[in-house]
Amino acid sequence: MHSNGYKPYYAVIFSSLRLSGDNAGYEETAEQMLRLAEKQPGFLGFESVRDRHGAGISVSYWQDKKSIKNWKNQADHLFAQKKGRTLWYKHYKIRIALVEDEYEYIKNDDLT
Amino acid sequence: MHSNGYKPYYAVIFSSLRLSGDNAGYEETAEQMLRLAEKQPGFLGFESVRDRHGAGISVSYWQDKKSIKNWKNQADHLFAQKKGRTLWYKHYKIRIALVEDEYEYIKNDDLT
């Protein structure tokens, strides 16, 4: 299921519902935060999907809990979190989870 | 961050990219699989978002690894997984992760 070099890592699952309205500044801040997260120690990756109804799931991946805590408390990120609660999100839930196993499927285009 | 009754549980993070094309039968099967999953022992919940480019993240929540394994090997689900690889998905990755912590924000509409 995974290579012998596999080491457990953490996922931060962020499920959210955006407020309707113009959500001024949201896209710009989201982009800035992603660029900033990528520079943090322990950052491993990021995936994000949002649909046209404003529902979104983003998952960021981190080496350990310490790197998640550092990112949570990073000053610019704290400011963005506050703006998120004030201006952009109707609801969100964050789960911190230890990835114990993973497997992947990639379609072989050569055969289609 | 959470109530005293908190017990760790598992998340199955399913990140996928759909094949372009008509993807015949996909919506119906996805709906059937969700209804079936809800009836499995240990099922706790499900969230799913897909955007207009075909990228999706779904997360299902389970009491323990045994219930995840049982669901993975359930007969109708095995058949759907095979159809998924043949007909619907260009790529997917599944991660099984132990949820160690969670917190939630809900906007207080009374104040807005």
pLDDT tens per residue, range B13-70: 999 999 987 677 899 999 999 999 999 999 999 999 999 999 999 999 999 999 999 9
- Using an 8 Å CB-CB cutoff, list chain A residues near B99: 95-97
Could you count the other beta carbons within 10 Å of the beta carbon of residue B16?
Answer: 20
* pLDDT exceeds cutoff 60 at B10: yes
Distance from CA of B34 to the nearest CA of A (A): 18
Query: Which pair of structure tokens corresponds to residue A80?
Result: 């963005």
Query: What is the per-residue pLDDT across A29-53, written as a single tens digit (0 to 9) for each?
Result: 999 999 999 999 999 999 999 999 9
How far is Cα of residue A35 from the mean position of the Cα atoms in its chain? 12
Whether B59 sits inside 8 A of A15 (CB atoms) is yes
pTM: 0.91
Distances (CA, A) of B68 to B1, B43, B112: 26, 8, 41
Q: Which of residues 35-94 of A touch B (CB under 8 A)?
A: 47-52, 55-59, 85, 89-94
